[in-house]
């Protein structure tokens, strides 16, 4: 039997069949999300991870810990920056100060005695002034509390309460550091890039994901569920809403070839929701909402960490302008490239269709230099055309 044909019929189990006994592997981005979650969300996820660790079902790749250690100080810095930029800097005494400087009504209109409802007017002015005084006092106390919080955050680099919570889990669950043949690892990464084989072929020269994958492959005789935030485009298939559909088939086949077992992938919210149901209760609404939200801070951090790859100017990096648009355009480009790759392999596009698509992409690339909003619209149109072609072909 042809090898590729044979791979179509490997014995991959359904998620429900492996969920209760599979090894759970978490990605770096899951651990780092603790610095964005509310307390109730962190405690929910922590309790699950702790329970899995005690059952020896949680495994954390050594590479994940290395990446977590490198990125943790940056996340703490971001917490401090957010307190400054989103709260403290806006608590300038501006509006309150201006309001408290207003002239007394009797000084503006000395002849108030000749107007109706003067007593009520003066009483309301008194109440207003008392409220402003109370607000000024409350604002001062709030600013003092925020400054105390910033002092606490400064200590988090060396005395991090989230890291302290993680310590027990790390001690139980972190995999031993593997010994790599550096040249063999580089050769494997280059092969994957050349052949568009996940993971790592979209990592622009880095091999972090490949190292994580190697550690996952080392979990012999176990079905594995890998939990990662929905941003690994060379690991998963996604739907039009960017939700994970499944792990890339290449990964499923490689894992099965090495271990004769099943490999699955879930987003954090999907995993917590399913785990909660196995315990006989639904995921709390506020926890689900907290995990599902895609915060501007995350988009900004993601883009700034890849500033050069996203073509950001020093001014944009400093100001944060256009970061969301660039991030969205980056996602559209990746999606388009995925469609084009399949279209090329399967010979789906006719020559004139391919030429038309490439001309429209060229226009989008030109627009990206001048107007990101128009560029996003153009990329969206190209993606829509590709999706229409695929829907006709596979309908």
* pLDDT in the model for residue 240: 65
C-alpha span between 65 and 127 (Å, rounded): 57
Of 175, 228, 232, 231, the residue nearest 198 (C-alpha):
232
Q: Quick one: pLDDT at residue 284? A: 92
Q: What's the confidence (pLDDT) of residue 219?
A: 94
In a domain, 302, yes or no: yes
What pLDDT, on a 0 to 100 scale, did the predictor assign at position 217? 95
Range ranked top by mean pLDDT from 71-85, 153-167, 197-211: 153-167
CB atoms under 10 Å from CB of 229, counted, come to 19
In a domain, 74, yes or no: no
Instruction: List pLDDT tens digits, range 348-391.
Output: 877 777 788 888 888 888 888 878 888 888 899 899 888 888 87
Number of domains in the chain: 3
Q: Which domain holds residue 53?
A: 7-61+175-292
Let me know whether 183 and 146 are in one domain.
Answer: no
Q: What is the mean pLDDT of residues 232-250?
A: 77
pLDDT of residue 302: 47
Note whether 192 and 274 are same-domain residues.
Answer: yes
Helix or strand holding residue 269 (H, E) = helix 268-278
pLDDT in tens, 262-274: 999 998 999 999 9
Q: Is residue 170 part of a domain?
A: no
Residue 15 in any domain: the answer is yes
288 shares a domain with 302: no
Domain co-membership, 49 together with 179: yes
Within this chain, do residues 56 and 152 fall inside the same structural domain, yes or no?
Answer: no
Task: State whether 390 and 319 are in the same domain.
Answer: yes
Lowest mean pLDDT among 1-10, 56-65, 105-114: 105-114
* Residue 284 sits in the same domain as residue 368: no
Answer for the pair 224, 263: CB distance below 8 angstroms, yes or no. yes
Question: What pLDDT is attached to residue 340?
Answer: 86
Look at residue 81 and tell me if it is in a domain.
Answer: no
Query: What is the DSSP code string of 90-125?
Result: GG-SHHHHHHHTPPPHHHH-TTGGGSTTHHHHHHHH
Q: Quick check: is 70 in a domain?
A: no
**Residues 108, 19 share a domain:** no
- The two structure tokens encoding residue 340: 């084009």
Asked whether the beta carbons of 312 and 325 are under 8 A apart, the reply is no
299-328 confidence digits (pLDDT tens):
445 444 444 444 455 555 444 456 667 778
pLDDT higher than 60, residue 259:
yes
Per the prediction, the chain carries an average pLDDT of 80
**258 vs 352: which has the higher pLDDT:** 258
Give the pLDDT mean for 65-73: 91
Residues 288 and 189 in one domain: yes
Full DSSP string of 36-82: TS-HHHHHHHHHHHHHHHHTT-EEB-HHHHHHHHHHHHHHHHHHHHH
Q: Who has greater pLDDT, 194 or 50?
A: 50
- 165 in any annotated domain: no
User: Do residues 62 and 175 lie in contact, with contact meaning Cβ atoms separated by under 8 Å?
Assistant: yes
129 with 252, same domain: the answer is no
Question: Is the pTM here over 0.85, yes or no?
Answer: no
Domain final residue, candidates 253, 269, 292: 292
pLDDT of 211 over the 70 cut: yes
End position of a domain, from candidates 260, 292, 324: 292
Displacement of CA 350 from its chain's centroid (Å): 37
Is 119 in the same domain as 183? no
Choose the final residue of a domain: 239, 268, 292: 292
pLDDT at 258: 93
Q: Do 39 and 179 have their domain in common?
A: yes
């Amino acid at each position: 039997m042809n090898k590729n044909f044979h791979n179509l019929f490997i014995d991959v189990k359904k998620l429900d069949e492996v969920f209760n006994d599979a090894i759970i592997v978490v990605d770096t981005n899951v651990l780092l999300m603790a610095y964005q979650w509310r307390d109730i969300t962190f405690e929910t996820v922590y309790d699950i991870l702790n329970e899995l660790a005690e059952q020896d079902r949680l495994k954390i790749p050594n590479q994940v810990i290395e990446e977590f250690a490198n990125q943790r100080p940056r996340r703490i810095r971001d917490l401090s920056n957010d307190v400054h930029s989103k709260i403290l800097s806006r608590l300038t005494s501006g509006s309150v100060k201006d309001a408290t400087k207003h002239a007394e009504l009797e000084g503006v209109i000395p002849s108030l005695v000749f107007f109706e409802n003067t007593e009520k007017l003066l009483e309301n002015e008194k109440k207003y002034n008392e409220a402003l005084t109370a607000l000024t006092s409350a604002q001062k106390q709030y600013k003092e509390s925020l400054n105390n919080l910033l002092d606490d955050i400064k200590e988090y680099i060396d005395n991090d309460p989230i890291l302290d919570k993680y310590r027990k889990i790390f001690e139980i669950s972190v995999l031993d550091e593997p010994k790599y043949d550096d040249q063999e690892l580089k050769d494997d990464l280059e092969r994957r890039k050349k052949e568009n084989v996940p993971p790592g072929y979209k990592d622009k020269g880095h091999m972090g994901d490949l190292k994580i994958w190697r550690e996952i492959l080392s979990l012999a005789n176990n079905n594995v569920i890998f939990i990662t935030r929905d941003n690994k485009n060379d690991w998963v298939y996604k739907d039009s809403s960017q939700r994970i559909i499944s792990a890339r088939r290449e990964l499923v086949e490689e894992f099965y070839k090495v271990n004769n077992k099943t490999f699955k992938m879930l987003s954090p919210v999907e995993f917590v929701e399913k785990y909660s149901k196995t315990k006989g209760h639904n995921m709390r609404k506020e926890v689900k909402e907290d995990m599902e939200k895609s915060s501007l801070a995350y988009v900004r951090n993601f883009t700034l960490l890849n500033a050069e790859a996203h073509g950001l100017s020093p001014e944009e990096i400093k100001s944060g302008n256009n970061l969301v648009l660039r991030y969205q355009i980056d996602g559209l480009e990746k999606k388009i490239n995925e469609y084009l790759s399949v279209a090329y392999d399967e010979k789906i596009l006719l020559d004139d269709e391919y030429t038309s698509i490439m001309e429209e992409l060229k226009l989008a690339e030109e627009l990206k230099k001048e107007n990101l909003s128009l560029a996003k619209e153009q990329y969206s149109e190209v993606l829509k055309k590709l999706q229409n072609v695929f829907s006709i072909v596979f309908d």
